[in-house]
Structures are given as C-alpha cells and as structure tokens.
C-alpha cells in the first residue's frame, strides 16, 4: 500500500460523480452523529513530538538544524500559528477536517498504479477443492455469504465495532459494496452506487478475461441461493471457454494518467461505455482464475499473495481483474483464494471483518430450497476493441509485466509463538512485533529508518488512520543494546520493556487523534490552501527523511487464518503486514527486486530471529529483574 494506509475516507460527496442520493438509514446516522470529532492536536505538542521522532533517524547535525527551523515555524505570531488557526477553523466547519484531504492526497491524486502501490491483497486459507465443480460451488457459497453480509449493511443490523471499549465509525462498511474508483486526468474519483435511488442488484463475474453481469436477487427481491448462483456460474463458465480474449481489465493496472487517457478512448464506444458502467455499478466482482504454475508447499502462500496482489502478469490472471473495483474476490480451480481491494474507500479491518463473516458462511450447509423458476442467462459484457484500445492494452501489459517482475513477496508463518506469549509476559503483542521489526532492520542495516504503522482513527467520525512511528528513541536504545556484548541480559530486558511500552504509548496517542503525521500533513495542506509560501520545515532534509518510510507496516488481525499483503511505499523499502493469531503469526513481506539494498528473504529471516531472541531474552532473565 501507499505510505499511508492512512488513506482517507471518502466522505465522499465532494469527489463523487453526481448520482442521486437517498438518505442513509436513521440508526446508522444516529450512531455516526454520536461519535466524537477528530481533534486538531495542539501545535506545540506536535512539534515537540516531531523533534523527538527525528532523533533516531537523522544525524545530530541535521537535528540541530531542524530544531532551529521548527522553532522559527512555531515562534509567536509566526506561520505555524496562522496555519494552526486555519486548521482549527476547518475543523469547526467540517465533519472531519482530515478525511477529504486524506482521500485526495493519499489516494485519488496518487498517480502510480493501484496495483502493488496501493491495493492490498488478502491470502485466504487454501480450500479443499481441486476442480472446476468445487471452485464454482465455493464461489457460489461465497457470493451468497457476501450478499448476506450486505443485507446487514442494508438493514443496519451490522454490529457496531469497538476499540479499547470505544465505539468506532462504521462509515467504511457503507463504502465498500457497490463502489468503484474512476480514473481522471489529474485525480480519480470514487463512486458509490449503494445510496442511489436504484441500487445495483448484480455482481460482475470474470472468467478468461470475459466479464458477465450476474443478478444475485430473484425478481421478488430475495437473494439467490447458492444452488441458483452455482447454476448461473456454470452458464458463465461454459460461455467463456475461449482463452484468446483481449485482457481488457489489464488497462486498470496502468499508471493512473495512462489509464485515464485509455479510459476516454474506451468509453467513446457506446457498448464499451455500458459494459464499463455495469462493472462500476456492480456490488462486487468475482474473479474465476485460471490455474497458476504449481510451486512447492513452502512457496505456495507467497505465490498466492502475488496472485492476489497483481494476478501474476499478462500471461496469467492480471487481465481477469478490474482493479478499480473496490472488492474483488478471487477463486482459482486449485483451491487458492483471496481478495484484492481498491484502497480509497476503506482500510483493511472492515474488509477483513467481511471476509471473516463470509468464510464462516461458506462452511454452513445449504438450508434454503431454491425456487424452481429458471433464471435468465447472465449477460456477457461486450467490448469493441479499436486499434487505439488494442495499443493501450499492449502498453498496459508491458508496464504491468515489468512491475510483476519487480515485486518480491514472501508470506510466511512464524510458528514458535503467537500473541499469547507477549500477553502472558504483560506486553502488548503488536508493540512486541514492531520492536522485533526494529531489531531485524537494525541487524540488517546497522541503522534505523522511518517506520510507519497504521493506527485506526475510527474512534472519530469518518476517521481513517494516522501513523504510529515505530522507530523511537527507546526502540533504538534497545536494538543497540542487543548488539552490544557488554550489556547484561537484565539491562536488555529492561530496555525491551521500555521500547514496547513506548510503542504502546504512541499507539494510544495515535488512536486518540494525537499523533503527528496527519497534523503535519494538515498544516502543509493548509499552507497550500492559504497560498503562503511553503514553510521551510516542510522543505527540510529531516522532513524528507521522516516521510521516506522504508518500513511500511500494518497489523490486520482476523478470526480467519489469513494474511493481508501490500507493496512497499518507497523504491528502497519494505511492505510488512502481519496477523497475530493466538499461537502463531502470519507475515507478508514485500520489496522491489530492482533495489539492490532490499531483500525480503533476509528481512523475513532476521525478523524470525529477532522474535526468537526477544522471547529467549525474556524467558531466561530472572523474574526479579523484570
Ligand atoms: N499485557 C497483556 N495483554 C495485553 C497488553 C499487556 N501489556 N497489551 C495489550 N494486550 C492485549 C490486548 O488486550 C489485546 O487482547 P485481545 O487479543 O484479547 O483483544 C491484545 O493484547 C492485542 O493488543 P495489542 O497487541 O496491544 O494491539 P491492538 O489490538 O490494540 O492493536 C493497533 C494495535 C495499532 C494495530 C490497533 O490499535 C489499530 O489501530 N488497528 C488498525 C490498523 C489499521 O487500520 N490497519 C489498516 C491496514 S489497511
């Protein structure tokens, strides 16, 4: 994902194409209205914390210079105060001072391809089918499960989620179904059709690069049963057996400017425009994938992660996607399955909550008897491919294949312990894993780097995320001590506990709306909006170092034994996602092959070693010293 998982919410309406809206249900609105508003943190607090966050990642000389620059920014009556007042005014006037800005800068104005650079994938446990029949049965049940979940969204019976005992903003659940990103020349937009007068009743199914519109409701409004869906999927399968079709969907994997141009070529044709509209309006997409090359058991999950993230390249399944679609469920004949999602409308946790629900649903026996009425043939979506579009497809293929070769992704399971171990030792599991990542990185490189961990801001109305800066003064003291033979174990344990506690404290601050990153972004955007010249603080080398996240990380927990994966956010960085289960931890680590300095296998190795070393350090150190 991008540097920020912190992408913003689609408090959509300003960016959304004009579709007629119906009022959202009252119960939902009542809950939303009761949520606190995101605060603008005090300026002095953020600047002090910014200087502290720089200490482990910049030289003393750079820090001294930045201190002067920050002091100037903060001086009474100076530009900092003015911008802060502007932000405070904005906070009074809007539901969330950050959400629209965030949506635009982190997602819709971001021009790199959504594939790898923004859209996360999810690797689900391998299913036990091995043929087409099993694939379609599972797909049918999954579709039925998602539609059942949608009923809870439509009826507002979705239980409100809590974090640290506080209710969370549920807005993202209303954004992930029936929505799609649309490319634009300077920035994209997101359209949500769930709130239109005539919400969609169909999904899109794609097989052998051919798209179909599949209605998932009977004419009386009841959802299709999985038996009915299965019959429809068989029809789709049987009418899309040719494998020589143009991979039209690959256009959506291109750089956003190129895709925006190609999009205009594509929708000049009326048939194409209708087909594109049908995909965009659909509730979600299901990709019935062709088998991928077989690999060893050890490499299997990494191979599936690549399939989810980018489809494997133009020879494989990348053309079997519409990457602008918010939710795409992917099911292959060999039992591999998962999802890829377009990040603009939501973060990982709501997506994974939906997956948890659906995975459980697929295990249920079919109880409902299917109506006997025959269903119409799902509509095939036609595309007329002009030479111009053919050319766009060829260019998209080339770019995509270069990117596919460049991404290295490794999924592995750390089996020696899970979140139960740190909990038993009265340590936050998330902080423990983050400190282990710091140790792994330090051992590989001999220094520490700006590290991003997503923190939820959903305690606030329309909240998305802020950044937990995992590289801290305390984490640096600990990792240095681990590499110092003169240090006693009891000293290392003390430093470990301090580092873990510092991380947890930063986490609490971040989820409480008092981290520094979104506030600094707000001040910067306020300067642009007020047309004041860019304050030196944002042009400073330290600021660039602080924003260059060589470690971009996120915890996405779930009930299901799955893992989310995403690409690095800088060319010389890593993307690390993890799911701490009770007795094991699922990890995904990604980097670019074109960078000589990064190596996913090595980072994975150092990470496992760091976790083990931290465990034995705690276990072998006498309790009296703890
Ligand atoms: N002693 C014992 N147990 C502890 C503990 C301690 N000192 N500290 C924490 N724990 C327990 C917690 O109670 C919790 O228990 P549970 O498993 O029974 O619920 C568990 O350990 C996990 O807590 P912790 O590891 O501290 O993390 P967390 O669940 O609070 O999550 C974040 C931390 C940052 C991941 C979370 O706050 C967050 O913001 N998540 C959103 C991430 C996101 O949006 N990602 C987007 C990706 S696109």
Catalogue the E-assigned strands of 290-336: 327-332
38-67 mean pLDDT: 98
- Whether 343 sits among the annotated catalytic residues: the reply is yes
In a domain, 9, yes or no: no
* pLDDT band, very low/low/confident/very high, at 624 (cuts 50, 70, 90): very low
CA of 157 from ligand 1 middle (Å) equals: 26
Question: Cβ(456) to ligand 1 under 6 A?
Answer: yes
Domain boundary among 371, 389, 406: 406
Q: Ligand 1: which of 164, 352, 423, 426 to mutate, judged by most atoms within 8 Å of the beta carbon? A: 423
156 or 348: whose pLDDT is higher? 348
214-232 mean pLDDT: 95
Please give the number of the atom of ligand 1 that sits closest to the Cα of 500: 7
Question: Cβ(314) to ligand 1 under 6 A?
Answer: no
pLDDT of residue 7: 32
Asked if pLDDT for residue 4 goes beyond 60, the answer is: no
In a domain, 13, yes or no: no
CA of 122 from ligand 1 middle (Å) equals: 20
User: Do 254 and 310 lie in a common domain?
Assistant: yes
195-213 mean pLDDT: 96
pLDDT of residue 25: 52
Please count the residues of the chain. 626
Nearest of 2, 487, 38 to residue 256 by alpha carbon: 2
Burial of residue 72, with CB atoms counted within 10 A of its CB: 0-12 exposed, 13-18 middle, 19 or more buried: middle
The span from the CA of 499 to the CA of 506, in Å, is 11
| 291: CATH | 3.30.559.70
Question: Cβ(172) to ligand 1 under 6 A?
Answer: no
* pLDDT band, very low/low/confident/very high, at 389 (cuts 50, 70, 90): very high
| 531: CATH | 3.30.559.10
Catalogue the E-assigned strands of 290-334: 327-332
pLDDT of residue 12: 28
In a domain, 396, yes or no: yes
The span from the CA of 343 to the CA of 346, in Å, is 6
Residue percentage of the chain with pLDDT more than 70 = 95
* pLDDT band, very low/low/confident/very high, at 243 (cuts 50, 70, 90): confident
Mean pLDDT score across all residues of the chain:
93
Nearest of 338, 304, 316, 341 to residue 118 by alpha carbon: 341
pLDDT of residue 623: 63
Residue percentage of the chain with pLDDT more than 90 = 87
Question: Cβ(428) to ligand 1 under 6 A?
Answer: yes
302 three-class SS: helix
Nearest of 555, 577, 179, 576 to residue 349 by alpha carbon: 555
User: Do 609 and 482 lie in a common domain?
Assistant: yes
CA of 555 from ligand 1 middle (Å) equals: 9
Question: Cβ(115) to ligand 1 under 6 A?
Answer: no
**Ligand 1, atom 35: closest residue by C-alpha:** 555
> Per-residue pLDDT tens for 124-135?
999 998 889 999
Calculate the CA 114 to chain-centre distance.
11
Domain count, the chain: 2
> Per-residue pLDDT tens for 6-31?
332 222 222 233 233 334 457 788 88
186-203 mean pLDDT: 95
Q: What is the dihedral of CA 409, 411, 414, 419, to 10 degrees?
A: 100
User: Do 377 and 305 lie in a common domain?
Assistant: yes
**Residue 616, number of CB atoms within 10 A of its CB:** 11
Structural tokens at position 470: 């995992």
Question: Cβ(311) to ligand 1 under 6 A?
Answer: no
Q: What is the dihedral of CA 157, 163, 165, 171, to 10 degrees?
A: -40
79-92 mean pLDDT: 97
546-575 mean pLDDT: 98
Instruction: Give CA separation, 469 vs 25, 145, 392, 517, in Å.
Output: 38, 37, 41, 9
Catalytic residue among 117, 207, 255, 343: 343
Q: Domain of residue 277: give its range.
A: 111-159+175-406
> Per-residue pLDDT tens for 276-325?
999 999 999 999 999 999 999 999 999 999 999 999 999 999 999 999 99
Calculate the CA 533 to chain-centre distance.
33
The span from the CA of 287 to the CA of 195, in Å, is 25
């Amino acid at each position: 994902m991008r540097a920020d998982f912190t992408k913003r919410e689609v408090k959509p309406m300003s960016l959304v194409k004009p579709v007629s809206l119906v009022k959202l249900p009252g119960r939902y609105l009542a809950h939303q209205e009761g949520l606190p508003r995101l605060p603008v943190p005090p300026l002095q607090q953020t600047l002090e914390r910014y200087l502290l966050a720089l200490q482990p990642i910049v030289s003393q000389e750079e820090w001294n210079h930045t201190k002067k620059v920050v002091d100037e920014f903060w001086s009474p009556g100076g530009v900092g105060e003015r911008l802060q007042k502007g932000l405070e005014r904005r906070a009074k006037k809007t539901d969330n001072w950050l959400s629209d800005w965030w949506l635009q800068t982190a997602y819709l104005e971001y021009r790199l391809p959504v594939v790898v650079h923004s859209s996360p994938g999810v690797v689900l446990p391998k299913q036990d089918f091995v043929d087409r029949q099993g694939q379609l049965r599972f797909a049918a049940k999954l579709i039925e499960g998602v539609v059942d979940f949608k009923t809870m969204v439509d009826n507002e019976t979705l239980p409100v989620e809590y974090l640290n005992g506080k209710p969370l903003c549920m807005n993202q659940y209303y954004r992930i179904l029936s929505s799609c990103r649309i490319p634009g020349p300077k920035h994209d937009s997101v359209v949500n059709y769930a709130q239109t007068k005539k919400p969609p009743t169909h999904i899109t199914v794609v097989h052998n690069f051919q798209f179909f519109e599949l209605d998932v409701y009977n004419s009386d409004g009841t959802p299709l049963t999985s038996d009915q869906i299965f019959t429809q999927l068989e029809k789709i399968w049987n009418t899309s057996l040719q494998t020589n079709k143009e991979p039209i969907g690959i256009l959506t994997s291109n750089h956003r400017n190129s895709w925006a141009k190609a999009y205009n070529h594509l929708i000049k044709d009326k048939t194409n425009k209708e087909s594109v509209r049908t995909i965009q309006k659909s509730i979600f997409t299901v990709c019935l994938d062709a088998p991928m090359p077989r690999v060893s058991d050890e490499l299997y999950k990494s191979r599936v992660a690549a399939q989810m993230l980018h489809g494997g390249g133009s020879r494989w399944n990348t053309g079997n996607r519409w990457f602008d679609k918010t939710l795409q469920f992917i099911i292959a004949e060999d039992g591999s399955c998962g999802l890829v999602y377009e990040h603009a409308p939501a973060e990982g946790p709501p997506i994974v909550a939906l997956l948890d629900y659906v995975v459980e649903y697929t295990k249920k026996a079919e109880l409902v008897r299917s109506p006997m009425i025959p269903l119409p043939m799902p509509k095939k979506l036609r595309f007329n491919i002009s030479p111009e579009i053919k050319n766009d497809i060829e260019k998209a293929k080339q770019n995509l294949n270069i990117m596919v070769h460049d991404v290295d992704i490794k999924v592995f399971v750390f089996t020696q312990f899970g979140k139960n171990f740190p909990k038993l030792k009265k340590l936050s599991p998330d902080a423990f894993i983050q400190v282990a990542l710091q140790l792994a990185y330090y051992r590989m490189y001999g220094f520490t780097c700006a590290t991003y961990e997503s923190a939820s801001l959903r305690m606030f109305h329309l909240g998305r995320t802020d950044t937990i800066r995992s590289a801290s003064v305390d984490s640096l003291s600990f990792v240095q001590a681990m590499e110092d033979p003169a240090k006693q174990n009891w000293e290392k344990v003390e430093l470990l506990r301090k580092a873990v506690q510092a991380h947890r404290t930063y986490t609490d601050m971040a989820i409480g709306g008092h981290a520094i990153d979104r506030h600094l972004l707000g001040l910067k955007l306020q300067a642009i909006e007020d047309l004041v010249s860019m304050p030196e603080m944002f042009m400073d080398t330290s600021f660039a170092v602080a924003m260059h996240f060589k470690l971009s990380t996120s915890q996405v927990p779930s009930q299901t034994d799955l893992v989310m994966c995403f690409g690095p956010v800088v060319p010389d960085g890593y993307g690390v996602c993890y799911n701490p289960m009770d007795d094991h931890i699922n990890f995904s680590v990604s980097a670019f092959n074109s960078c000589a300095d990064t190596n996913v296998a090595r980072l994975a190795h150092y990470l496992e070693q760091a976790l083990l070393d931290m465990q034995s350090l705690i276990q072998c150190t006498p309790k009296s010293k703890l």
